[in-house]
Amino acid sequence: MKQKAVLAFSGGLDTSVVVKYLQEEHNMDVITVTVDVGEGSDQKKIAAKARHLGVLRHYNIDAKKEFVEKFIHPAIKANALYQKKYCLATSLARPLIAQKVLEVAKKEKVSALAHGCTGKGNDQVRFDVTFGSGSNLPIIAPIRDLNLDRATELEFANKHGIPIDSVSKKFSIDQNLWGRAIEGGNLEDPYAEPPDDAFIWVKTKNLPDKPRYMEIEFENGVPVSIDKKTLNPVRLIEYANQVAGANGVGIVDHIEDRVVGIKSREVYETPGAMCIIEAHSDLEKMVHTKHENKFKSIVDQEWAWLAYSGLWQDPLKRDLDKFIDQSQKTVTGIVRLKLYKGGLRVVGRKSKHSLYRHDIATYGKGSAFDQRKATGFVELWGLQTTEANKLADKR
């Protein structure tokens, strides 16, 4: 009997090449697993493609709700933006996909785990570390092992009759509920502007002439309603994506430091994430003390780094989650955003836990803040700074 391998399968170029490779070079039966993490991939088409490639069995696992609750919500609480820009859409989905692959591997008693990641990216780290944290099975990663490039893969696909759609020919795409990553093609020139046809979620032309306001309500750090509509966690993110995308909000274009050291030019569409994180972090500033704000931004950055760099399972990440969860007890309230022709701005916020006090902040008459007390405070606050400068003058 042939040995079996289970493969995380997206239906794209890389994973399709891997199916054929496992069958032909390793003489293995392939079980494909596609995990639906939302926004758009046609699961029926992917299943048909797997069958066309002659797999032994194909699993389609709907993990949208789990993805939102266990991965996106923690990321929102952590205001997670890697290098201040990237909302981690791909990074968050990988550990979940790998976990589902492991579940199938156990059920099917396979002898190897496989993925279609290259040796140049971050995804290999996320898959390998999740696989390694949950099993001792060998990992086969043909694209990496054979040092394959895209042109060679396309050739291989042609030779083996693997159908490739036109978008995959132009760009390498990865998408889920939290965002869409676009790589390759002319985007590899960091000075070249991405062509409009790279974007599917965010409108780039003929944008509405009127601003669109969006009201996001949070409870304990988690978005629960938008525009006064209580939506389930998956629907809420889809809704935010639609509204923001229609108003031109959500394109990110930046230079990213990958785990393996490569600098890459990354282009993303992350309309919903952009609005939700902007609103969430604004609300935090209103309800947290200045000490909490200062410290949490350090924790947030570390959290984003761990999630980005494939260390989702690290004990440090679990510890940070505990801290972050505790910090969200007061993050309840409403933030109002204004979206206009690609611009995004917070224009209002309110919370029952607000630490903002109009009576002391006001420049108007009758403030409860006695300015005279500030003199002594400032003198002590700057004591060492002024002293050091006076001494420096004498040196």
- The reply to whether 183 sits near ligand ARG by the rule CB under 6 A is yes
Question: Tokens for 22?
Answer: 């496992």
Could you tell me which stretch among 55-63, 166-174, 219-227, 325-333 binds ligand ARG (CB under 6 A)?
Answer: 166-174
Site for ligand ARG in 86-105 (CB under 6 A): 90-91
- The reply to whether 168 sits near ligand ARG by the rule CB under 6 A is no
- Per-residue binder mask for ligand ARG (CB under 6 A), 226-265, x = binder: ------------------------------x---------
Return the number of the residue (115 or 296) whose C-beta is nearest ligand ARG: 115
Burial 67-99 (b: 16+ CB within 10 A, else e): bbeebbbbbbbbbbbbeeebbbbbbbbbbbbbb
- The reply to whether 128 sits near ligand ARG by the rule CB under 6 A is no
Return the number of the residue (117 or 214) whose C-beta is nearest ligand ARG: 117
The amino acid at 346: V
Question: Tokens for 213?
Answer: 């306001």
| Three-state DSSP state, 364 | coil
Burial 213-225 (b: 16+ CB within 10 A, else e): ebebbbeebbbeb
Q: Supply the minimum distance, in Å, between the C-beta of residue 201 and ligand ARG.
A: 15
DSSP symbol at 25: T
Is 268 labelled as part of a ligand binding site? yes
From 29, 36, 94, 128, the catalytic residue: 94
| 172 noted as active-site residue | yes
Return the number of the residue (57 or 120) whose C-beta is nearest ligand ARG: 120
Up-side HSE of residue 307: CA atoms within 13 Å toward CB?
A: 30
- The reply to whether 15 sits near ligand ARG by the rule CB under 6 A is no
Say how many Å lie between the first and final Cα of the chain, rounded.
84
| 14 noted as active-site residue | yes
Rounded Cα distance between 126 and 97, Å, is 10
Length of the chain: 395
Residue from 79, 99, 122, 130 touching ligand ARG (CB under 6 A): that is 122
Beta strands 29-36; 251-257: pairing state = unpaired
Please report, as ranges, the residues that interact with ligand ARG according to CB under 6 A: 90-91, 122, 172-174, 181, 183, 256, 266
Q: Which residues are known catalytic residues?
A: 14, 94, 123, 172
